[in-house]
């Protein structure tokens, strides 16, 4: 395990440099009229950004744990108590968001990398119905569930203090105590960036 984490750490610097080199690239959708244009088939739905933003939050600055509950695309209900003690990766997305589609393979790769470990991956779909969310998961090979904010909108409020969820996609890493440990704003370009952030959070519990 230590060797694998060291390898991930070695890869992340190059990955972040490559991501930041995408300055000016279209890496995020926004829940505003431009995004509505994109949903209608107009590529103006993207917002040009300075590049992928990756922030690790020092332990002393993480604040209180996030408490949440919501209905999954499977029809089940999930709460923070269900994932207590796990490092939790929360990805905010919706099906018509181009960067969300582009980053799905990297997210699933990272998900698979922690199979059998105390790590939970959870999507939060910000706009879609269960049918649309499940169709997206089938198309892009996503095997972890998503909370439907269209059914339980309060789930977005639960995370509002931790990450600017108006920018989509955004990925948040919660530590084993449920506090925000890191966030990625924009399209994840490579699984190793997220894997390293998760490994760092896991290492805090060992």
Q: What is the pLDDT of residues 136-163, one digit of tens each?
A: 999 999 999 999 999 999 999 999 877 6
The strand pairing partners of 125, in sequence order, are 93, 148
pLDDT digits (tens, 9 = 90+) for 93-147: 999 999 999 999 999 999 999 999 999 999 999 999 999 999 999 999 999 999 9
Strand partners, 134: none
What distance in Å separates the CA atoms of residue 170 and residue 188, rounded to the nearest whole number? 9
For the stretch 75-88, pLDDT in tens is: 999 999 999 999 99
Closest CA to 183 of 192, 108, 169: 169
- Indicate the average pLDDT of the chain: 81
What are the boundaries of each domain within the chain?
Answer: 2-203
pLDDT of residue 23: 33
Taking phi first (over 0 means left), then psi (-120 to 50 degrees means alpha), and beta for anything else, what does residue 154 get?
alpha
Q: Residue 8 CB: number of other CB atoms within 10 A?
A: 22
What is the enclosing helix (H) or strand (E) of 71?
strand 69-71
Confidence of residue 26 (pLDDT cuts 50, 70, 90): very low
Domain at 2-203: CATH code? 3.40.30.10
Q: Report whether 184 contacts 165 (CB < 8 A).
A: no
């Amino acid at each position: 395990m230590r060797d694998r984490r060291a390898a991930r750490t070695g890869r992340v610097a190059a990955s972040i440099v490559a991501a930041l080199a995408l300055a000016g690239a279209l890496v995020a959708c926004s829940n505003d009229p431009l995004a509505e244009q994109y949903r209608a088939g107009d590529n103006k739905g993207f917002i040009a950004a300075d590049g992928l933003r990756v922030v690790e939050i020092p332990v002393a600055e993480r604040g209180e744990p996030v408490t949440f509950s919501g209905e999954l695309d499977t029809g089940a209900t999930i709460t923070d108590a269900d994932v207590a003690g796990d490092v939790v990766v929360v990805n905010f997305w919706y099906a018509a968001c181009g960067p969300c589609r582009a980053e799905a393979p990297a997210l699933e790769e990272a998900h698979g990398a922690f199979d059998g470990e105390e790590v939970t991956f959870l999507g939060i779909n910000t706009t879609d119905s269960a049918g649309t969310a499940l169709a997206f998961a089938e198309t892009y090979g996503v095997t972890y569930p998503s909370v439907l904010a269209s059914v339980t909108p309060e789930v977005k409020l639960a995370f509002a203090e931790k990450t600017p969820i108006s920018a989509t996609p955004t990925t948040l890493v919660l530590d084993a105590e449920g506090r925000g440990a890191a966030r990625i704003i924009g399209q994840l370009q490579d699984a190793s960036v997220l894997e390293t952030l998760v490994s760092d959070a896991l290492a805090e519990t060992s």
